[in-house]
Amino acid sequence: MKKLVWICLALAGCARYADFTLPDAGAPQQGAYLWEPRPGPVIPNRAVDTLNPSIVAWKGGLLNLLSVYDGKGWHTEAATSSDGFAWTYGTRVLSPDPKTWEGSYIAANGATLLRNGELLHYYQGGDPPRIGLARSTDGATFRRQPEPVVGFGPRGSWDERGAADPYVFESGGRIYLFYLGQDRARRQRLGLAMSRDGLTWTKLRQNPIMELGGPGAIDENGLGEPAVWQAHGWWWILYTGRARNEVRRMALARSRDGIRWEKTGPVISGTEPWNSKVVCDATVIPSEDRVRVWFGGGDVALPAENLHGQIGYGELVWRPSR
């Protein structure tokens, strides 16, 4: 038994797998989202990079568990706002712990779910990365699970060498997690997992759900950082695409079941000097006719950090077909 447990931990290949879909999205409507950016960053750079917003409604306002790179590693900090534009900073809530599976590089790049009065914050840790869970009831003090909750796939799988960029939401009594997986060829694609308790996860057998684009596409070199919501009879995913030259832009796709996705546009590029090379890391709060979007931006085309990263805001506005 001890040998079996050791093998499972070493290979991270003992995850559960199943066939499932997202809940029914309702009657499909025809229309399109139009992108309306707000000028300038709403959260200026606080260190080397300030990126990866993760925003939830909290105590009558908004809580943002954003990521900060200080030149050595990535940390998670808390900020609050009443309107999503002016932010008050709190404390650093997560830093990588080199004595644990996280290592010394990252405990950030997370996504947050409010469930039964408790914040469940899923974050990226380790190198190569896996996904951990930290819990909080006050938004300031977080208790980490001792081991990752989503790990590597088995040998030869699409996520054998990494699981990162989590995005979580709850629907129909189940929690769904979209994430980036990396294989041994360093291809980065998107997949899906499901849980009933937020701790034990079942990966979709058909993963990955989104493939790289062709030559010259905005996602030729990688897909990541998904944000997902349901509206107008569809499931929508706003994701980051990495081009061959490492310029990053966001793009939109839609699905009826969460498994088969159609890339629809728009493609969202930076329109100002501060986000001229990178637009990434969306977090969303959807409503009936618009989706509030906070995102990271930078003026240097690099795959990870030193982007002069700041956080911006825009809205996806629904326009039905006539």
Model confidence pLDDT, tens digit, residues 4-30: 333 343 344 456 999 999 999 999 999
Calpha distance 253→274 (Å, rounded): 26
Cα angle, residue 316 at apex, residues 311 and 317 outer, rounded to 5°: 145
Res. 2: pLDDT tops 80: no
Q: What pTM value is reported for the model?
A: 0.94
Q: Is residue 20 part of a domain?
A: no
Mean pLDDT computed over every residue of the chain: 94
Model confidence pLDDT, tens digit, residues 234-261: 999 999 999 999 999 999 999 999 999 9
Q: Is residue 225 part of a domain?
A: yes
Please tell me the total count of domains within the chain: 1
Radius of gyration of the chain (CA): 18
Q: Is residue 183 part of a domain?
A: yes
CATH of the domain at 266: 2.115.10.20
Q: Which of 237, 139, 135, 222 is nearest to 183 (CA)?
A: 222
Per-residue confidence (pLDDT) for residue 14, from 0 to 100? 54
Torsion sign, CA atoms 20, 26, 28, 33: negative
Look up the domain containing 311 and give its range: 37-320
Per-residue confidence (pLDDT) for residue 46, from 0 to 100? 86
